[in-house]
């Protein structure tokens, strides 16, 4: 298996899990923001499984873009930033609802500890997953089961390039 394929699977696996949990309705849809019935939260604040799916989908898109545009060493550094990015997205979700309802002090007083604990748990799980992925990568490389990719982003194929190896330009593709 190529290194980029391994990372692609590692990026998409959590996305598949979050999608499955969201599809089966893996939570009760209740909010922990402390807002009463009929508050704006019911229209703005999706269930937690959907929030996880949307947040990780954004992180996965960034990781996929980074995987395609950067060399493996840069990507390996970037995946360690992914849990922090995920937590930042999770801060923005409730922040918009809290600000829209004007209950910052109430939520901070009543739910601040729980929100902070959830963010810390997300960081720990995220860094744990990245550590697991990197450990499996090292193990597969040492066994020879993983083919390292070249340093640098993937090169365009010969049909996408107008310049041949000899240095001449293919004039058939020019307007």
Residue 156 placed within a domain = no
Q: How many CB atoms lie within 10 A of CB 97?
A: 20
- 23-43: pLDDT as tens digits: 876 555 444 455 555 554 444
Domain assignment of residue 138, given as a range = 3-24+40-144
Concatenated DSSP letters for 105-135? HHHHHHHHHHHHHHHHHHHHHHHHHHHHHHH
- 58-117: pLDDT as tens digits: 999 999 999 999 988 899 999 999 999 999 998 887 777 777 777 777 777 777 778 788
- When divided into structural domains, the chain yields a total of 1
Residue 29 placed within a domain = no
pTM attached to this predicted model: 0.68
Axis crossing angle, helix 3-23 with helix 48-69, rounded to the nearest 10: 170
Residue 31 placed within a domain = no
Each as own residue / partner, the long-range contacts of residues 66-71 (CB below 8 Å, 24 or more positions apart, any chain) are 67/4, 67/7, 67/8, 67/11, 68/153, 68/154, 69/153, 70/153, 71/151, 71/152, 71/153
Residue 133 placed within a domain = yes
Residue 153 placed within a domain = no
Residue 170 placed within a domain = no
Per-residue pLDDT at 59: 94
């Amino acid at each position: 298996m190529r290194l980029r394929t391994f990372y692609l699977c590692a990026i998409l696996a959590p996305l598949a899990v979050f999608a499955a949990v969201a599809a089966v309705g893996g939570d009760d849809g209740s909010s922990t923001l402390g807002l009463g019935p009929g508050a704006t939260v019911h229209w703005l604040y999706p269930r937690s499984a959907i929030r996880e799916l949307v947040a990780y989908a954004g992180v996965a898109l960034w990781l996929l873009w980074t995987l395609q545009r950067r060399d493996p060493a840069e990507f390996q550094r970037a995946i360690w930033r992914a849990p922090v990015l995920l937590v930042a997205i999770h801060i923005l979700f409730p922040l918009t609802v809290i600000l829209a309802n004007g209950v910052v002090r109430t939520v901070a007083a009543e739910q601040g500890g729980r929100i902070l604990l959830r963010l810390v748990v997300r960081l720990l799980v995220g860094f744990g997953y990245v550590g697991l992925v990197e450990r499996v990568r090292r193990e597969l490389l040492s066994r020879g089961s993983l083919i390292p990719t070249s340093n640098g982003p993937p090169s365009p194929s010969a049909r996408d390039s107008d310049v041949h190896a000899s240095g001449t330009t293919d004039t058939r593709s020019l307007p």
